[in-house]
Amino acid sequence: EIILKSILQTDSWNVSMRYIMPAFTVFLRACLAKKLPIIEENKSNVVQIFTSLLNLRVDDSAFELLVDLLTNFDMTAHFKEIFIAIFTRMHNDKQQGKSRTQNFGRGFFYFLSAYIVSYGPETLIQLCEKIQPGLIFASIDSENAKLRVVRSKNQRKIVTVAFSKLLFQQFASFKQEVWINIFDNIVGMLRLGERTLITQESTDVSFADTETQISLRSDSFQRLNQCELPPSSLCGDVEDEKVFFMTTLVEAMNHVQGLKDTITQNLKPATSELLQKFCQQTGITL
């Protein structure tokens, strides 16, 4: 508890501690999973820690912490602050000419998906429209190619379920070109399946000096940093994300005005071919 109280002090999460932040985040996530009362009392501090990680570009750790916070605690009062922090980071990167990492895009979609599964796509849009009209659609469009690099099976399942809801339930809210690009990348993500997509980037940890490298090699640091936490319980009833996607797509094509025409007339040939393969694999007919 003494260690946790120290970690919850937001001034501990500064640039001088950047190299050890991923390990500290694993410890904090483990405490979130236990739903400790001290976390409930300091939720605002955890949100500030997320913002610090995000601003320091420790992106994987930032979004994994955020999803665990969303999953284990009622964060309704803090979501506007959280989304403003994310949109501010995206705006600042654009203004400064910085490219966002794949870690950011992957984490961004993981968090959005966890939110959609928990609260619904309409709630997401309503909240973000209050911050700035159209911003959520522009933000998704700017990162949508990174849907293909969602890393783990558990995250792919959550993203598939969430974006099936978003794309089909909120079809009329999207510009057609944006909708098609997102749909293409969801299909691409499902095609890639369990394959290793990319070499893990090293953007989360800065090896600035010899002392840092020595610290990172310590047994205690490695055990903490490599600790495996249980996967999110979100979408635990979905066994196969591809079957879920195809089943939801067929149902939506029968009920959502204009969706069937978009699927049959406007998709890229490669995407249409993949859908036909999915039909063969799942036994589901469009």
Q: Phi and psi (nearest 5°) for 152? A: -100, 160
Q: What is the pTM of this model?
A: 0.86
Residue 56 in contact with residue 39, Cβ under 8 Å? no
Distance of CA 255 to the CA centre of its chain: 28
> In whole angstroms, what is the distance from residue 113 CA to residue 279 CA?
25
State the sign of the Cα–Cα–Cα–Cα dihedral 116, 121, 125, 127: negative
123 residue type, one letter: T
> In whole angstroms, what is the distance from residue 137 CA to residue 186 CA?
16
HSE-CB for 277 with a 13 A CA cutoff: 11
Residue 106 in contact with residue 144, Cβ under 8 Å? no
Per-residue pLDDT tens listing for the chain (286 residues): 788 998 999 888 988 888 889 999 999 999 999 999 999 999 999 999 999 999 999 999 999 999 999 999 999 999 999 999 999 999 999 999 988 888 999 999 999 999 999 999 999 999 999 999 999 999 999 999 999 888 788 999 999 999 999 999 999 999 999 999 999 999 999 998 745 444 333 333 333 333 334 344 445 444 544 445 555 578 888 989 999 999 999 999 999 999 999 999 999 999 999 999 999 999 999 8
